[in-house]
Amino acid sequence: MQSDDQVKRLRAPFTEEVARSLQSGDRILLSGVIYTLRDAGHKRLIELLESGGESPFPLKDAVLYYVGPTPATKGRVIGSAGPTTASRMDPYTPALIERGLRGMIGKGYRSESVVDAIKQYGAVYFAATGGAGALISRTILEAQIVAWDDLGTEALRRLVVKDLPLTVIIDSEGRNLYHDGPQAWRRSHGYED
Amino acid sequence: MKKGRIMAIRIFDVDLLRDAVEKMCGPVACDMPTDVRSAIETALTVEDAANAKSVLSELLKNYDIAADERIPICQDTGMVVIFLDVGFDVHFIGDPYEAIDEGVRRGYKNSALRMSVVGDPLRRVNTGDNTPALVTTRFVPGDRVTVTFLAKGFGSENMSRLAMLLPADGLEGVREFVVNTARNAGPNACPPLVIGVGIGGTFDHVALAAKRSLARDIGDHNPDPFYAELEQSILEEINRLGIGPQGLGGRTTALSVAIEVLPTHIAGLPVACNINCHVARHKQEVL
């Protein structure tokens, strides 16, 4: 099992070198600038890139957060903002990693082709806690819509975060906590595979 | 009307239903029901994996922030699923389905919840007000209207499965199907999971039975001891998978398994497994 008490602080965006230093199971507090994008936004971004257009945000070394927040109420920059299921973005992800995307924040399994791209280009997949949107909201200091306002909750947003709690799930070596964590638990409790 | 029976019809203005639904939306999104909360608290006392404990503590903290600051527990504030139990003696003035939708429309807007419904599954244009609600009506004795409200998130809904098993598959077939569905859901469905199982009926009714079981409080077992035991033994088996909270490894893969059964055909054994995440939002009002 991974040690619980070592929490690494990390700033986004970050380079390939930093991504390659992260290990599956690491607990992270992420600060800096990240962008939100989910289903409909991914489709638009890919269509735009494939038709020769430019990304509305700097893709190189960027971190994407898969989230569709609730509306901000008075006095807040954003509403509840926990991660959505990442696998729905899998069809689009390798092409984005190839173009410089460095980190992804979501929850749930990724496809083999995403894992391959993570390994090849030196990227990283983090999980935030699903169903902890109120808690996560507190770590978001700024939120601005950058593009695709018409998509509502699915618009592209630029977030400034401070100490967003994450866990490294898939690292650049292809290690996967969704595999290793449950397996370690089963082994330590005598429920062998 | 039978001779000698006193006519007792309750005139029911659907505005009452509209207002009740409107008032449920915010609390359903922001206040974790006590049954779920105490199940998470119990899980925290039995977990031994560090990641698992840390996730469960975060969930409890999240529930507190949501309740105190009136912000949704989860950004997926769900599609509204309503079971409407209407007394035989109720006569509606107005359209109860339109009243429910108006309640959802007002409630989701007033409580700043997320509009997560598209009007057509392939054209996919957001309706902008989280309507329509999906309503299942049942007639029951009496003159009351009972509204059971679920705000169903789709991270977990997407991991739900239905199978038309064969009678020969029997109890073990059902057990294997439910455990495999939970295993396959893994981290995608935001464990700890709440699992609703329908067994019997037909293709359509078995899914509704599974959904209906998600409205039960955690800890409420099937009244038939045979099924109550099956709920418990399937839960134990799922909690040996080691998936744990958020799939990081641990004991608490599921908080409960609730089974509802229906009579079925001699040739069939339908089974449906409806997965809910730990944000198992459910509320009931009797009007």
* Domain region containing A162: 8-188
**At A10, which amino acid appears?**
L
Q: Which of B61, B76, B241 sits opposite A182 (nearest CB)?
A: B241
CB contact under 8 A, A134 and B244: no
Q: Which of B152, B172, B199 is the last residue of a domain?
A: B152
Residues B14 and B132 in one domain: yes
Is the separation of the CB atoms in B22 and B103 below 8 Å? yes
Mark which residues 113-172 of B lie under 8 Å from A by CB.
Answer: 113-116, 124, 126, 155, 158
B193 at A interface, C-beta within 8 A: no
Whether B258 maps to a domain, the answer reads yes
Q: Are residues B166 and B82 in the same domain?
A: no
Residues B136 and B173 in one domain: no
Domains of chain A: total: 1
d(CA A60, CA A82): 24
Residue A179 covered by a domain: yes
Q: pLDDT tens, A116-158?
A: 999 999 999 999 999 999 999 999 999 999 999 999 889 999 9
Q: Which residue is closest to B245 within chain A, CA to CA?
A: A129
Q: What is the pLDDT of residue A1?
A: 39
In this prediction, residue A185 carries a pLDDT of 95
Q: pLDDT, tens digit, for every residue of B11-35?
A: 999 999 999 999 999 999 999 999 9
- B210 and B237 share one domain: yes
Domain count, chain B: 2
Query: What is the number of H-type helices and E-type strands within chain A?
Result: 6, 7
Query: pTM of the predicted model, to two decimals?
Result: 0.92
Residues B143 and B14 in one domain: yes
Burial of B109 (0-12, 13-18, 19+ CB in 10 A): middle
B91 at A interface, C-beta within 8 A? no
Which H helix or E strand runs over B182? helix B170-185
Residues B100, B133: one domain? yes
Condensed to tens digits (0 to 9), the pLDDT of residues B128-174 reads 999 999 999 999 999 999 999 999 999 999 999 999 999 999 999 99
Residue A1 forms part of a structural domain: no
B121 and B238 assigned to the same domain: no
Q: Does the CB of B57 have a partner CB in chain A at under 8 Å?
A: no
- Stronger pLDDT, B269 or A151, i.e. the higher one: B269
Whether residue B256 lies inside any domain: the answer is yes
Strands of chain B, DSSP E: 10-13, 79-87, 90-93, 134-140, 145-152, 161-165, 193-201, 254-264, 269-276, 282-286
Residues B128 and B159 grouped into a single domain:
no
In a domain, A3, yes or no: no
CB B39 within 8 A of CB B256: yes
| A179 contact B CB<8A | no
Residue B2 lies in a domain: no
pLDDT tens-place string over residues B76-130: 999 999 999 999 999 999 999 999 999 999 999 999 999 999 999 999 889 999 9
> How many Cα atoms occupy the beta-carbon half-sphere of B48 within 13 Å?
7
Give A105's contacts in chain B (Cβ within 8 Å): none
Pairing mode, if any, of strands B134-140 and B10-13? unpaired
B134 and B24 in a common domain:
yes
Chosen domain end from B120, B152, B184:
B152
A135·B62 Cβ contact <8 A? yes
Residues B194 and B267 in one domain: yes
The CATH code of the domain that includes A34 is 3.20.130.10
Domain membership flag for residue B166: yes
Determine the 3-state secondary structure of A7 from DSSP. strand
Using pLDDT thresholds of 50, 70 and 90, give the confidence band for residue A3: very low
B239 lies in the same domain as B166: yes
Cis peptide before B223 (omega within 30 of 0): no
ipTM: 0.91
Buried b (16+ CB within 10 A) or exposed e, B217-237: ebeebbeeeebeebbeebbeb
In a domain? residue B179: yes
CATH number of the domain within which B273 lies: 3.30.1330
Is B136 found in the same domain as B15?
yes
Q: Is the pLDDT of residue A165 over 70?
A: yes
Q: Is residue B56 part of a domain?
A: no
Q: Tell whether B201 is covered by a domain.
A: yes
Domain membership flag for residue B60: no
Q: Which domain holds residue B235?
A: 154-280
With beta carbons less than 8 A apart as the criterion, state whether B80 and B133 touch.
yes
**Does the distance separating the beta carbons of B244 and A185 come in below 8 Å?**
yes
Q: Which residue of B lies nearest to A106 if distances are taken between CA atoms?
A: B188
Searching chain A, which residue's CA lies closest to the CA of residue B253? Answer: A182
